[in-house]
Structure 1
Amino acid sequence: MVDQAVKEQLSSYRQSIDNIDAALVHILAERFRCTKAVGMLKAKYDLPPADPAREEYQIARLRRLAQDAHLDPDFAEKFLNFIITEVIRHHEAIAAEHGGATEKTV
């Protein structure tokens, strides 16, 4: 049988995790609202959905931030690559809707 104090501490940690997960969802939603605006601008001016130089910069930047925060930089890079892939997919869809560029690279 687990001590009541241990159960309470576990519950407290889990509540914190639930709150952080909710915050992450809201932050991601806001990020995608911003990237949608970028996609609309790119479509309007017939710019390519992907920007490899920007992506490379962002990955390096996120790796440094992760390292400073004592988070595995490889994990942070995988996470950002997942987001970038999704953003590019959205930008390609927006471009297709507006008859613009659908190429993944410049």
Structure 2
Amino acid sequence: MNKSKTERHASVWDALADTAEEAANLKVRAELMRKIASLIQDSGWTQAAAAEHCGISQPRINDLLRGRISRFSLDALVNIAASLGQQVRIALEVA
């Protein structure tokens, strides 16, 4: 009988990341990407129009809307949110 060891993680980010710090960064970037994508979709913009509003290229908007998290730094996402007139707030919580 072959028993395999199954790892359990607190979140998908913990499973994907090598460190707790990297997992925390992925989680924040994913949340910010979801909120930006929601703003874009709620506005009814085409990808080209969204790119113009965000000050980035249409392919970058496509990456954002498809959730390609590895292509966006936290800094880039904060800048995109600001270009949409949004303020990013940070709250610290005990992990």
TM-score (norm 1): 0.31
Name the one with the larger helix percent.
1
Q: Between the two structures, name the one with larger relative contact order (CA 8 Å, sep ≥ 6).
A: 1
